[in-house]
Chain A
Amino acid sequence: MGESRPGTAPGLSEGEITERLRDFVAAQSSLAPGEVQVGSLRRLAGGASRELWSLDVELGGTAPARLSLVLRRDPPSRVGESDRGLEFRVLRAAAEAGVPVPRVHWCCSDTTVLGAPFFLMDRLEGETLPRRLLRNPEYAATRAGLAPALGAILARIHTIDASRPELAGLATAGTGVGSALEETRRIAEAARRLAVEPHPVLDLAARWLEERAPAPRRRVLVHGDYRVGNVMFDEGGVRAILDWELAHLGDPVEDLGWLCVRAWRFGNDALPVGGVGTREALVDAYQEAGGAPVDPEALRFWEVCGNFKLALVFITQCRAWLDGVPSLELASLGRRTAEAELELLALMEGAP
Protein backbone atom coordinates (compact mmCIF):
# COMPACT_ATOMS: atom_id res chain seq x y z
CA MET A 1 0.00 0.00 0.00
CA GLY A 2 1.21 3.51 -0.65
CA GLU A 3 0.51 4.69 2.87
CA SER A 4 2.66 7.74 2.36
CA ARG A 5 -0.08 9.15 0.15
CA PRO A 6 -3.32 7.37 0.98
CA GLY A 7 -6.14 8.24 -1.38
CA THR A 8 -4.07 8.77 -4.47
CA ALA A 9 -2.57 6.52 -7.10
CA PRO A 10 1.08 7.25 -7.69
CA GLY A 11 1.37 9.42 -10.78
CA LEU A 12 -2.36 10.03 -11.15
CA SER A 13 -4.53 12.50 -9.25
CA GLU A 14 -8.04 11.52 -8.20
CA GLY A 15 -9.35 13.87 -10.86
CA GLU A 16 -7.32 12.12 -13.55
CA ILE A 17 -8.45 8.68 -12.36
CA THR A 18 -12.09 9.83 -12.42
CA GLU A 19 -11.71 11.24 -15.91
CA ARG A 20 -9.97 8.15 -17.29
CA LEU A 21 -12.52 5.83 -15.72
CA ARG A 22 -15.32 7.88 -17.26
CA ASP A 23 -13.77 7.47 -20.73
CA PHE A 24 -13.12 3.77 -20.13
CA VAL A 25 -16.68 3.02 -18.94
CA ALA A 26 -18.13 5.07 -21.81
CA ALA A 27 -16.13 3.06 -24.37
CA GLN A 28 -17.11 -0.25 -22.74
CA SER A 29 -20.79 0.75 -22.70
CA SER A 30 -20.82 2.27 -26.22
CA LEU A 31 -21.74 5.67 -24.79
CA ALA A 32 -20.30 9.12 -25.35
CA PRO A 33 -18.07 10.33 -22.47
CA GLY A 34 -20.69 13.00 -21.76
CA GLU A 35 -23.26 10.29 -21.06
CA VAL A 36 -21.24 8.80 -18.19
CA GLN A 37 -20.64 10.31 -14.77
CA VAL A 38 -18.07 8.98 -12.31
CA GLY A 39 -18.05 10.29 -8.76
CA SER A 40 -17.30 9.73 -5.07
CA LEU A 41 -13.92 8.13 -5.82
CA ARG A 42 -12.40 7.02 -2.52
CA ARG A 43 -9.52 4.74 -1.59
CA LEU A 44 -10.57 1.89 0.70
CA ALA A 45 -8.35 0.41 3.39
CA GLY A 46 -6.87 -2.72 1.90
CA GLY A 47 -4.12 -5.21 2.33
CA ALA A 48 -0.55 -5.29 1.22
CA SER A 49 -1.09 -6.93 -2.15
CA ARG A 50 -3.82 -4.94 -3.91
CA GLU A 51 -5.67 -1.64 -4.11
CA LEU A 52 -9.39 -1.12 -3.68
CA TRP A 53 -11.33 2.01 -4.58
CA SER A 54 -14.97 2.84 -4.11
CA LEU A 55 -16.83 4.86 -6.76
CA ASP A 56 -20.28 5.58 -8.18
CA VAL A 57 -21.07 5.48 -11.88
CA GLU A 58 -24.11 6.87 -13.68
CA LEU A 59 -24.80 5.66 -17.19
CA GLY A 60 -26.98 7.77 -19.48
CA GLY A 61 -28.12 6.86 -22.98
CA THR A 62 -31.07 4.60 -23.73
CA ALA A 63 -30.66 2.32 -20.68
CA PRO A 64 -29.76 4.62 -17.79
CA ALA A 65 -28.33 3.02 -14.68
CA ARG A 66 -26.66 3.95 -11.40
CA LEU A 67 -23.92 1.60 -10.26
CA SER A 68 -22.17 1.46 -6.88
CA LEU A 69 -18.81 -0.03 -7.73
CA VAL A 70 -15.49 -1.19 -6.38
CA LEU A 71 -12.35 -0.90 -8.47
CA ARG A 72 -9.69 -3.51 -7.84
CA ARG A 73 -6.29 -2.57 -9.14
CA ASP A 74 -2.79 -4.00 -9.01
CA PRO A 75 -0.67 -1.69 -6.88
CA PRO A 76 2.29 -0.17 -8.70
CA SER A 77 4.67 -2.36 -6.70
CA ARG A 78 2.77 -5.55 -6.30
CA VAL A 79 3.58 -8.45 -4.03
CA GLY A 80 3.14 -11.95 -5.36
CA GLU A 81 1.87 -13.17 -8.67
CA SER A 82 -1.66 -12.52 -9.73
CA ASP A 83 -3.60 -11.70 -12.86
CA ARG A 84 -6.53 -9.28 -12.77
CA GLY A 85 -8.01 -10.60 -16.03
CA LEU A 86 -8.05 -14.18 -14.79
CA GLU A 87 -9.52 -13.11 -11.44
CA PHE A 88 -12.28 -11.30 -13.33
CA ARG A 89 -13.12 -14.43 -15.35
CA VAL A 90 -12.99 -16.65 -12.25
CA LEU A 91 -15.46 -14.32 -10.50
CA ARG A 92 -17.81 -14.53 -13.48
CA ALA A 93 -17.59 -18.35 -13.50
CA ALA A 94 -18.20 -18.44 -9.73
CA ALA A 95 -21.34 -16.33 -10.11
CA GLU A 96 -22.62 -18.71 -12.80
CA ALA A 97 -22.02 -21.66 -10.45
CA GLY A 98 -24.24 -20.02 -7.83
CA VAL A 99 -21.43 -18.87 -5.53
CA PRO A 100 -22.26 -15.57 -3.78
CA VAL A 101 -19.78 -13.06 -5.26
CA PRO A 102 -19.90 -9.40 -6.32
CA ARG A 103 -21.09 -9.07 -9.91
CA VAL A 104 -18.21 -8.06 -12.18
CA HIS A 105 -18.69 -5.43 -14.89
CA TRP A 106 -15.57 -4.52 -16.85
CA CYS A 107 -11.93 -5.54 -16.88
CA CYS A 108 -8.98 -3.57 -18.29
CA SER A 109 -5.55 -5.06 -18.87
CA ASP A 110 -4.32 -1.95 -20.73
CA THR A 111 -1.86 -0.41 -18.28
CA THR A 112 -1.97 2.98 -20.03
CA VAL A 113 -5.45 3.64 -18.59
CA LEU A 114 -4.70 3.59 -14.85
CA GLY A 115 -1.06 2.52 -14.75
CA ALA A 116 -1.94 -1.07 -13.81
CA PRO A 117 -4.57 -3.68 -14.73
CA PHE A 118 -7.91 -3.31 -12.94
CA PHE A 119 -11.52 -4.42 -12.97
CA LEU A 120 -14.83 -3.02 -11.75
CA MET A 121 -17.41 -4.94 -9.71
CA ASP A 122 -20.50 -4.22 -7.64
CA ARG A 123 -19.97 -2.67 -4.21
CA LEU A 124 -21.90 -4.83 -1.76
CA GLU A 125 -23.06 -3.69 1.64
CA GLY A 126 -21.74 -5.80 4.47
CA GLU A 127 -19.09 -6.36 7.09
CA THR A 128 -15.72 -8.03 6.53
CA LEU A 129 -13.81 -7.55 9.79
CA PRO A 130 -13.44 -10.91 11.56
CA ARG A 131 -13.17 -9.26 14.99
CA ARG A 132 -16.65 -7.81 14.59
CA LEU A 133 -17.97 -11.18 13.48
CA LEU A 134 -16.54 -12.78 16.61
CA ARG A 135 -17.59 -10.06 19.04
CA ASN A 136 -20.69 -8.17 17.98
CA PRO A 137 -24.02 -9.45 19.35
CA GLU A 138 -25.89 -8.69 16.11
CA TYR A 139 -23.85 -11.37 14.33
CA ALA A 140 -24.73 -14.22 16.75
CA ALA A 141 -26.85 -16.03 14.15
CA THR A 142 -24.23 -15.47 11.46
CA ARG A 143 -21.55 -16.96 13.71
CA ALA A 144 -23.67 -20.02 14.49
CA GLY A 145 -24.34 -20.76 10.83
CA LEU A 146 -21.03 -19.74 9.30
CA ALA A 147 -19.06 -23.01 9.29
CA PRO A 148 -21.86 -24.99 7.57
CA ALA A 149 -22.53 -22.10 5.17
CA LEU A 150 -18.86 -21.91 4.19
CA GLY A 151 -18.78 -25.70 3.73
CA ALA A 152 -21.79 -25.64 1.40
CA ILE A 153 -20.47 -22.67 -0.60
CA LEU A 154 -17.09 -24.33 -0.96
CA ALA A 155 -18.72 -27.46 -2.39
CA ARG A 156 -20.28 -25.21 -5.04
CA ILE A 157 -16.96 -23.49 -5.78
CA HIS A 158 -15.40 -26.89 -6.38
CA THR A 159 -18.05 -27.70 -9.02
CA ILE A 160 -16.86 -24.85 -11.29
CA ASP A 161 -15.74 -26.31 -14.59
CA ALA A 162 -12.06 -25.37 -14.60
CA SER A 163 -11.54 -26.73 -18.11
CA ARG A 164 -13.47 -23.84 -19.71
CA PRO A 165 -11.20 -22.09 -22.21
CA GLU A 166 -11.46 -18.69 -20.48
CA LEU A 167 -10.01 -20.27 -17.32
CA ALA A 168 -7.04 -21.81 -19.13
CA GLY A 169 -4.68 -19.49 -17.22
CA LEU A 170 -5.44 -21.37 -13.99
CA ALA A 171 -3.27 -24.28 -15.02
CA THR A 172 -0.21 -22.06 -15.01
CA ALA A 173 -1.16 -19.67 -12.19
CA GLY A 174 1.97 -19.18 -10.12
CA THR A 175 0.20 -19.31 -6.79
CA GLY A 176 -0.34 -23.04 -6.46
CA VAL A 177 0.43 -26.05 -8.54
CA GLY A 178 -1.84 -28.79 -7.39
CA SER A 179 -1.00 -31.99 -5.58
CA ALA A 180 -0.06 -32.09 -1.91
CA LEU A 181 3.52 -33.08 -2.65
CA GLU A 182 3.97 -30.44 -5.35
CA GLU A 183 2.52 -27.78 -3.08
CA THR A 184 4.80 -28.81 -0.19
CA ARG A 185 7.88 -28.62 -2.41
CA ARG A 186 6.81 -25.32 -3.97
CA ILE A 187 6.38 -23.66 -0.56
CA ALA A 188 9.60 -25.14 0.85
CA GLU A 189 11.61 -23.98 -2.16
CA ALA A 190 10.10 -20.49 -2.09
CA ALA A 191 10.65 -20.10 1.66
CA ARG A 192 14.34 -21.05 1.32
CA ARG A 193 14.79 -18.75 -1.65
CA LEU A 194 13.07 -15.71 -0.10
CA ALA A 195 14.04 -15.93 3.57
CA VAL A 196 17.23 -14.12 4.48
CA GLU A 197 17.72 -16.11 7.69
CA PRO A 198 17.46 -19.88 8.25
CA HIS A 199 14.10 -21.31 9.40
CA PRO A 200 14.70 -24.81 10.82
CA VAL A 201 11.04 -25.13 11.88
CA LEU A 202 10.03 -24.80 8.24
CA ASP A 203 12.63 -27.38 7.19
CA LEU A 204 11.22 -29.74 9.81
CA ALA A 205 7.67 -29.06 8.60
CA ALA A 206 8.69 -29.73 4.99
CA ARG A 207 9.98 -33.21 5.98
CA TRP A 208 6.79 -33.89 7.96
CA LEU A 209 4.57 -32.85 5.05
CA GLU A 210 6.56 -34.76 2.40
CA GLU A 211 6.16 -37.94 4.42
CA ARG A 212 2.40 -37.51 4.81
CA ALA A 213 1.33 -35.94 1.51
CA PRO A 214 -1.98 -37.49 0.43
CA ALA A 215 -2.10 -39.08 -3.02
CA PRO A 216 -3.01 -36.71 -5.87
CA ARG A 217 -6.74 -36.53 -6.59
CA ARG A 218 -8.86 -34.84 -9.21
CA ARG A 219 -7.78 -31.22 -9.38
CA VAL A 220 -10.50 -28.61 -9.04
CA LEU A 221 -10.64 -24.84 -9.06
CA VAL A 222 -9.72 -23.93 -5.48
CA HIS A 223 -10.31 -20.42 -4.14
CA GLY A 224 -6.77 -20.33 -2.73
CA ASP A 225 -7.47 -17.88 0.11
CA TYR A 226 -10.69 -19.23 1.61
CA ARG A 227 -10.83 -17.77 5.15
CA VAL A 228 -13.16 -15.73 7.29
CA GLY A 229 -11.32 -12.48 6.44
CA ASN A 230 -12.41 -12.90 2.81
CA VAL A 231 -16.10 -13.38 3.64
CA MET A 232 -18.53 -10.49 3.50
CA PHE A 233 -21.35 -11.04 5.97
CA ASP A 234 -24.27 -9.32 7.65
CA GLU A 235 -26.87 -10.25 10.28
CA GLY A 236 -28.40 -12.72 7.82
CA GLY A 237 -25.24 -14.69 7.06
CA VAL A 238 -22.76 -14.81 4.17
CA ARG A 239 -23.19 -12.06 1.56
CA ALA A 240 -20.21 -12.82 -0.66
CA ILE A 241 -16.91 -14.63 -1.00
CA LEU A 242 -14.20 -12.08 -1.88
CA ASP A 243 -10.57 -11.99 -3.02
CA TRP A 244 -10.22 -14.58 -5.74
CA GLU A 245 -6.77 -13.52 -6.88
CA LEU A 246 -5.11 -16.71 -5.60
CA ALA A 247 -7.53 -19.13 -7.31
CA HIS A 248 -5.72 -22.07 -8.89
CA LEU A 249 -6.06 -25.76 -9.72
CA GLY A 250 -5.51 -27.96 -6.72
CA ASP A 251 -6.66 -30.50 -4.19
CA PRO A 252 -10.12 -29.50 -2.92
CA VAL A 253 -9.12 -30.21 0.70
CA GLU A 254 -6.56 -27.39 0.41
CA ASP A 255 -9.36 -24.80 0.82
CA LEU A 256 -10.82 -26.64 3.84
CA GLY A 257 -7.43 -26.88 5.57
CA TRP A 258 -6.62 -23.19 4.98
CA LEU A 259 -9.96 -22.22 6.53
CA CYS A 260 -8.93 -24.09 9.72
CA VAL A 261 -5.58 -22.27 10.15
CA ARG A 262 -5.22 -20.84 13.67
CA ALA A 263 -4.45 -17.29 12.53
CA TRP A 264 -8.04 -16.85 11.31
CA ARG A 265 -9.50 -17.72 14.72
CA PHE A 266 -8.47 -14.42 16.30
CA GLY A 267 -7.89 -16.03 19.68
CA ASN A 268 -11.04 -18.18 19.76
CA ASP A 269 -9.20 -21.50 19.48
CA ALA A 270 -12.04 -23.63 20.84
CA LEU A 271 -13.69 -23.29 17.42
CA PRO A 272 -11.10 -24.09 14.75
CA VAL A 273 -13.07 -22.82 11.74
CA GLY A 274 -12.48 -19.07 11.90
CA GLY A 275 -13.21 -19.05 15.64
CA VAL A 276 -16.89 -19.75 14.92
CA GLY A 277 -17.35 -23.43 14.08
CA THR A 278 -16.08 -26.99 14.29
CA ARG A 279 -14.26 -28.96 11.62
CA GLU A 280 -17.09 -31.51 11.74
CA ALA A 281 -19.77 -28.89 10.97
CA LEU A 282 -17.68 -27.61 8.07
CA VAL A 283 -16.91 -31.01 6.58
CA ASP A 284 -20.46 -32.38 7.03
CA ALA A 285 -21.97 -29.39 5.23
CA TYR A 286 -19.32 -29.63 2.49
CA GLN A 287 -20.08 -33.31 1.86
CA GLU A 288 -23.86 -32.86 2.12
CA ALA A 289 -23.70 -30.12 -0.51
CA GLY A 290 -21.98 -32.48 -2.93
CA GLY A 291 -18.30 -32.01 -2.04
CA ALA A 292 -16.13 -35.12 -2.43
CA PRO A 293 -15.60 -37.13 0.80
CA VAL A 294 -12.96 -35.56 3.06
CA ASP A 295 -10.41 -37.84 4.71
CA PRO A 296 -9.62 -36.46 8.22
CA GLU A 297 -5.91 -37.20 7.72
CA ALA A 298 -5.94 -35.21 4.48
CA LEU A 299 -7.66 -32.33 6.28
CA ARG A 300 -4.96 -32.42 8.95
CA PHE A 301 -2.27 -32.45 6.26
CA TRP A 302 -3.75 -29.37 4.58
CA GLU A 303 -4.14 -27.52 7.87
CA VAL A 304 -0.44 -28.07 8.62
CA CYS A 305 0.36 -27.14 5.01
CA GLY A 306 -1.78 -24.01 5.47
CA ASN A 307 0.36 -22.87 8.40
CA PHE A 308 3.45 -23.72 6.35
CA LYS A 309 2.09 -21.51 3.56
CA LEU A 310 1.22 -18.75 6.03
CA ALA A 311 4.87 -18.67 7.13
CA LEU A 312 5.80 -18.26 3.46
CA VAL A 313 3.28 -15.40 3.12
CA PHE A 314 4.96 -13.54 5.98
CA ILE A 315 8.43 -14.25 4.57
CA THR A 316 7.37 -13.09 1.09
CA GLN A 317 5.90 -9.84 2.38
CA CYS A 318 8.95 -9.15 4.53
CA ARG A 319 11.17 -9.84 1.52
CA ALA A 320 9.22 -7.33 -0.58
CA TRP A 321 10.00 -4.70 2.06
CA LEU A 322 13.67 -5.70 2.20
CA ASP A 323 13.73 -5.37 -1.59
CA GLY A 324 12.54 -1.78 -1.32
CA VAL A 325 8.72 -1.63 -1.24
CA PRO A 326 8.26 1.21 1.27
CA SER A 327 5.31 -0.18 3.25
CA LEU A 328 5.28 -0.14 7.03
CA GLU A 329 2.76 -2.98 7.04
CA LEU A 330 5.05 -5.19 4.97
CA ALA A 331 7.93 -4.36 7.32
CA SER A 332 5.86 -5.49 10.30
CA LEU A 333 4.96 -8.91 8.89
CA GLY A 334 8.37 -10.59 8.93
CA ARG A 335 8.25 -10.86 12.71
CA ARG A 336 4.91 -12.68 12.49
CA THR A 337 6.57 -15.73 10.88
CA ALA A 338 7.17 -17.05 14.41
CA GLU A 339 3.40 -17.30 15.01
CA ALA A 340 3.05 -19.75 12.14
CA GLU A 341 6.16 -21.61 13.32
CA LEU A 342 4.74 -22.05 16.83
CA GLU A 343 1.53 -23.47 15.38
CA LEU A 344 3.49 -25.82 13.10
CA LEU A 345 5.37 -27.21 16.12
CA ALA A 346 2.12 -27.62 18.05
CA LEU A 347 0.40 -29.43 15.16
CA MET A 348 3.38 -31.70 14.42
CA GLU A 349 4.43 -32.46 17.98
CA GLY A 350 1.35 -31.90 20.13
CA ALA A 351 1.37 -29.80 23.29
CA PRO A 352 4.76 -29.52 25.08
Chain B
Amino acid sequence: MNDRPTGVELLRAVERFLEQEVVPRLEGPRRYHARVAANLVAIVAREIETEEGQLRSEWERLGGLLGLREPAPALRADLREAVSERTRALAERIRRGDADRGPWREELVRHLRRTVEDKLAVSRPPRFTPEESP
Protein backbone atom coordinates (compact mmCIF):
# COMPACT_ATOMS: atom_id res chain seq x y z
CA MET B 1 0.00 0.00 0.00
CA ASN B 2 1.28 3.42 -0.91
CA ASP B 3 1.71 6.25 1.54
CA ARG B 4 -0.37 9.41 1.58
CA PRO B 5 -1.07 11.50 -0.40
CA THR B 6 -3.36 9.15 -2.30
CA GLY B 7 -3.33 9.16 -6.09
CA VAL B 8 -6.45 11.32 -6.14
CA GLU B 9 -4.93 13.77 -3.66
CA LEU B 10 -1.81 14.08 -5.82
CA LEU B 11 -3.93 14.75 -8.90
CA ARG B 12 -5.86 17.45 -7.03
CA ALA B 13 -2.53 19.06 -6.15
CA VAL B 14 -1.47 19.03 -9.80
CA GLU B 15 -4.83 20.45 -10.86
CA ARG B 16 -4.54 23.28 -8.32
CA PHE B 17 -0.99 24.05 -9.44
CA LEU B 18 -2.00 24.23 -13.10
CA GLU B 19 -5.14 26.31 -12.48
CA GLN B 20 -3.68 28.75 -9.97
CA GLU B 21 0.04 28.96 -10.76
CA VAL B 22 0.39 28.13 -14.46
CA VAL B 23 -2.76 29.30 -16.26
CA PRO B 24 -2.60 32.94 -15.02
CA ARG B 25 1.00 33.25 -16.26
CA LEU B 26 0.33 32.07 -19.81
CA GLU B 27 -1.37 33.55 -22.86
CA GLY B 28 -2.99 32.39 -26.07
CA PRO B 29 -2.85 28.73 -27.08
CA ARG B 30 -0.56 27.81 -24.15
CA ARG B 31 -2.97 29.26 -21.61
CA TYR B 32 -5.82 27.35 -23.20
CA HIS B 33 -3.85 24.10 -23.21
CA ALA B 34 -2.89 24.56 -19.56
CA ARG B 35 -6.60 24.80 -18.72
CA VAL B 36 -7.27 21.70 -20.78
CA ALA B 37 -4.50 19.93 -18.84
CA ALA B 38 -5.99 20.96 -15.47
CA ASN B 39 -9.39 19.76 -16.63
CA LEU B 40 -7.98 16.39 -17.73
CA VAL B 41 -6.25 15.87 -14.39
CA ALA B 42 -9.57 16.51 -12.63
CA ILE B 43 -11.27 13.97 -14.92
CA VAL B 44 -8.74 11.31 -13.99
CA ALA B 45 -9.27 12.02 -10.28
CA ARG B 46 -13.05 11.65 -10.62
CA GLU B 47 -12.62 8.49 -12.68
CA ILE B 48 -10.44 6.85 -10.03
CA GLU B 49 -13.07 7.64 -7.40
CA THR B 50 -16.14 6.48 -9.31
CA GLU B 51 -15.09 3.85 -11.86
CA GLU B 52 -15.53 0.76 -9.70
CA GLY B 53 -19.10 1.60 -8.71
CA GLN B 54 -20.07 2.71 -12.20
CA LEU B 55 -18.69 -0.46 -13.80
CA ARG B 56 -20.45 -2.81 -11.35
CA SER B 57 -23.79 -1.08 -11.87
CA GLU B 58 -23.30 -1.07 -15.67
CA TRP B 59 -22.44 -4.79 -15.57
CA GLU B 60 -25.70 -5.56 -13.72
CA ARG B 61 -27.83 -3.47 -16.08
CA LEU B 62 -26.23 -5.08 -19.14
CA GLY B 63 -26.87 -8.52 -17.63
CA GLY B 64 -30.54 -7.65 -17.26
CA LEU B 65 -30.82 -6.41 -20.84
CA LEU B 66 -28.98 -9.37 -22.35
CA GLY B 67 -30.39 -12.05 -20.04
CA LEU B 68 -26.94 -12.97 -18.70
CA ARG B 69 -26.24 -14.06 -15.14
CA GLU B 70 -22.56 -14.79 -14.63
CA PRO B 71 -20.92 -12.93 -11.72
CA ALA B 72 -18.83 -9.83 -12.34
CA PRO B 73 -15.02 -10.32 -12.60
CA ALA B 74 -13.25 -9.40 -9.38
CA LEU B 75 -10.42 -7.31 -10.83
CA ARG B 76 -11.26 -3.88 -12.15
CA ALA B 77 -9.29 -4.30 -15.39
CA ASP B 78 -11.14 -7.57 -16.13
CA LEU B 79 -14.46 -5.96 -15.27
CA ARG B 80 -13.74 -3.09 -17.66
CA GLU B 81 -13.03 -5.58 -20.44
CA ALA B 82 -16.12 -7.64 -19.62
CA VAL B 83 -18.41 -4.59 -19.61
CA SER B 84 -16.99 -3.63 -22.98
CA GLU B 85 -17.74 -7.15 -24.30
CA ARG B 86 -21.35 -7.01 -23.08
CA THR B 87 -21.75 -3.54 -24.60
CA ARG B 88 -20.51 -4.91 -27.92
CA ALA B 89 -23.17 -7.59 -27.75
CA LEU B 90 -25.76 -4.93 -26.94
CA ALA B 91 -24.68 -2.78 -29.89
CA GLU B 92 -24.95 -5.83 -32.15
CA ARG B 93 -28.57 -6.36 -31.09
CA ILE B 94 -29.39 -2.70 -31.70
CA ARG B 95 -27.89 -2.93 -35.19
CA ARG B 96 -30.05 -5.99 -35.88
CA GLY B 97 -33.14 -3.89 -35.14
CA ASP B 98 -34.09 -5.49 -31.79
CA ALA B 99 -34.47 -2.04 -30.23
CA ASP B 100 -36.41 -0.32 -33.00
CA ARG B 101 -39.56 -0.37 -30.85
CA GLY B 102 -41.20 -2.10 -27.92
CA PRO B 103 -40.56 -2.59 -24.17
CA TRP B 104 -36.96 -3.73 -24.62
CA ARG B 105 -36.18 -0.39 -26.23
CA GLU B 106 -37.54 1.42 -23.17
CA GLU B 107 -35.35 -0.60 -20.82
CA LEU B 108 -32.40 -0.09 -23.17
CA VAL B 109 -32.87 3.68 -23.29
CA ARG B 110 -32.98 3.84 -19.47
CA HIS B 111 -29.69 1.94 -19.38
CA LEU B 112 -28.07 4.11 -22.05
CA ARG B 113 -29.17 7.31 -20.34
CA ARG B 114 -27.71 6.16 -17.05
CA THR B 115 -24.46 5.11 -18.74
CA VAL B 116 -24.09 8.44 -20.52
CA GLU B 117 -24.88 10.34 -17.30
CA ASP B 118 -22.20 8.32 -15.51
CA LYS B 119 -19.67 9.25 -18.23
CA LEU B 120 -20.63 12.92 -17.93
CA ALA B 121 -20.34 12.82 -14.14
CA VAL B 122 -16.67 12.00 -14.74
CA SER B 123 -15.90 14.19 -17.76
CA ARG B 124 -18.07 17.07 -16.48
CA PRO B 125 -18.13 19.34 -19.57
CA PRO B 126 -15.66 22.18 -18.94
CA ARG B 127 -16.96 25.62 -18.10
CA PHE B 128 -14.06 27.48 -19.71
CA THR B 129 -14.23 28.72 -23.27
CA PRO B 130 -12.36 26.76 -25.88
CA GLU B 131 -10.62 29.13 -28.30
CA GLU B 132 -12.39 27.15 -30.92
CA SER B 133 -14.86 24.32 -30.58
CA PRO B 134 -14.18 21.29 -32.74
Q: Which A residues are within 8 Å of any B CB, using their own CB?
A: 1, 3, 6, 43, 45-49, 128-131, 197-201, 203-204, 206-207, 211, 227, 229, 263-264, 310, 313-314, 317, 328-329, 331-333, 335-336, 338-339, 341-342, 345, 349, 352
Which B residues touch A130, using CB under 8 A? 129, 133
Residues of B within 8 A of A (CB): 28-30, 32-33, 36-37, 39-40, 43, 84, 87-88, 90-91, 94-95, 97, 99-100, 108-109, 112-113, 116-117, 119-120, 122-123, 125, 129, 131-134
User: Bound complex: CA of A275 vs CA of B37, how far in Å?
Assistant: 27
State the main secondary structure of chain A at its contact with B: helix
Question: Considering the chains assembled together, what is the distance between the CA atoms of A331 and B43 in angstroms?
Answer: 12
Determine the chain B residues whose CB is within 8 A of the CB of A211 once the complex forms. 100
A194 to B36, CA, bound (A): 23
Residues of A close to B91: CB separation below 8 A: 198-200, 203
The answer to whether B36 and A207 have CB atoms under 8 Å apart is no
CA distance A339 to B43 in the complex (A): 15
Q: For B134, what are the chain A residues with a Cβ–Cβ distance below 8 Å? A: 47-49, 310, 313-314, 317, 333, 336
Q: Are A6 and B40 in contact (CB under 8 A)?
A: no
Chain A: CB-nearest residue to B39: A332
New contact pairs (9) apart from A47-B133, A204-B108, A338-B123, CB-CB < 8 Å: A3-B33, A6-B28, A45-B131, A204-B109, A227-B133, A314-B134, A339-B120, A342-B120, A345-B113
The residue in chain B whose Cβ has the minimal distance to the Cβ of A132 is B129
A243 to chain B, nearest CB (A): 9
Residues B112 and A204 in contact, CB atoms below 8 Å apart: yes
Given contacts A6-B28, A48-B134, A204-B108, contact A352 B113 (CB under 8 A): yes
Please determine whether B94 and A203 come into contact, CB atoms closer than 8 angstroms. Answer: yes
B112 contact set on A, CB distance < 8 A: 200-201, 204, 341, 345
Check if B132 sits within 8 Å of A47, measured CB to CB.
Answer: yes
Closest A residue by C-beta to B84: A197
- Complex: A328 Cα to B100 Cα, angstroms: 38
A204-B112, A328-B37, A349-B109 known; A335+B119 contact, CB < 8 A? yes
When the two chains form their complex, are residues B99 and A207 in contact, meaning their CB atoms are under 8 A apart? yes
Beyond A338-B123, A339-B125, whether A204 also contacts B30 by CB under 8 A is no
A residues within 8 A CB of B32? 45, 329
Among A1, A207, A336, the residue within 8 A (CB) of B123 is A336
Could you tell me if B116 and A342 are in contact, using CB atoms closer than 8 angstroms?
A: yes
Chain B residues lying within 8 Å of A206, measured Cβ to Cβ, are 95
Rounded to whole angstroms, the CA-CA distance of A33 and B57 in the bound complex is: 69
Query: How many Å from the CB of B113 to the closest CB on chain A?
Result: 6
Question: When chains A and B are docked, how far (Å) is the Cα of A349 from the Cα of B114?
Answer: 14
Closest chain-B Cβ to A74's Cβ sits at a distance in Å of: 16
B37 partner residues in chain A, CB cutoff 8 A:
328
Contact at B100–A207, with CB atoms within 8 Å? yes
Contacts known (A229-B132, A328-B37, A352-B113); A198 close to B120, Cβ less than 8 A: no
B111 nearest in chain A by CB position:
A200
Cα A229 to Cα B131 with chains together (Å)? 9
